[in-house]
Amino acid sequence: MRSGDVFVHGVLPRSGTNYLARALQCHPDLCASPRSVWEFPHLSNSDPLVTYARSMARAPNLPELEEDDVLELVGDAWLEWASAGLPAGRRLVLKEPSVRNLNRFFRFFPRSFLVVLMRDGRDIACSSLRTSFAAPPRFRLLHPGTYRRAFRSPLEELARRWREASRSVRAFLDTPGGRERARVVRFEDLVREPESQLRGMLEFLELPPEDFAWESFQALGVRGSSFVGEPGQKLDWSGRQPTPEDFDPVGRWRSWTEREVRRFDAVAGDELARWGYAEPGEPV
């Protein structure tokens, strides 16, 4: 039965989970993305598991079994699978760029740590619109699932997604034990003040900061996978390709027009203000 493994959940895709996982791996006790599991969409896909656990808990021949007992067994099985082949004492770092069903996290993984990565929704939208895998699908006449694109722009859709994800995080933090057992980190603070943020995170994870390879971390840089040199160029998640010297992942939305800023703010301005990104109703 494992304990102390670390889960990183980003508020949305493009929130910086890859950067944070690579940073945490600079501690010798942590292993990020074991078995080449770059993303672990367990909570996003957990609806059938909750139905299964409820059915098992109601089975007459299993009178002492509770729903949470089943969910914990499922979580333990995943951790054993992901940690296969790791040396004793190494702790996992698994990441998912989603907060869907975040309220179920400790039902599956009661002995693990949870780090939620928040990022300015405008920068997430700016980055998403530069990619083919994170941008909302465009309207297509033969695809009913895209019909709302005819009435809502991709920017407005991303603002809506970020607003709902932000509300999910805040609702989770208001649950009993949410703030005590999980830590929320803003991507912007991690980029601007990496040492103080990482030291605080290591303390939360009960890991000695003196063992952290600070020189290796400094050499990482911030990888921007939405930066592509040529059309059609494949994304590289290895971190081996150099980052452009002038690349700054914070505030890229400032290249937007005033109209684009106002459209995002009209949908998600209140949530931006709650996380310290803007005044409510007032574009920055």
Q: What is the pLDDT of residue 146?
A: 52
Whether residue 268 lies inside any domain: the answer is: yes
Number of domains into which the chain is organized: 1
Domain coverage including residue 132 = 6-223+241-274
User: pLDDT of the chain along its 284 residues, tens only?
Assistant: 889 999 999 999 999 999 999 999 999 999 998 988 889 999 999 999 999 999 999 998 888 899 999 999 999 999 999 999 898 889 999 999 999 999 999 999 999 999 999 999 999 999 888 876 556 666 555 556 555 555 568 899 999 999 999 999 999 999 877 888 899 999 999 999 999 999 999 999 999 999 999 999 988 866 554 444 333 444 444 444 445 555 678 888 999 999 999 999 999 999 999 999 975 445 44
- Domain containing residue 132: CATH number: 3.40.50.300
The token duo for 149 is 């694109």
Whether residue 1 lies inside any domain: the answer is: no
Bin 177: left if φ > 0, else alpha if -120 < ψ < 50, else beta.
left
Closest CA to 119 of 224, 44, 5: 224
pTM of the model as a whole: 0.85
Contact by Cβ (8 Å): 41, 102: no
CA distance 190 to 135: 24
CA distance 110 to 3: 8
Whether residue 280 lies inside any domain: the answer is: no
Q: What is the pLDDT of residue 153?
A: 85
Whether residue 282 lies inside any domain: the answer is: no
Centroid of chain to Cα 271: 17
Whether residue 234 lies inside any domain: the answer is: no
Whether residue 83 lies inside any domain: the answer is: yes
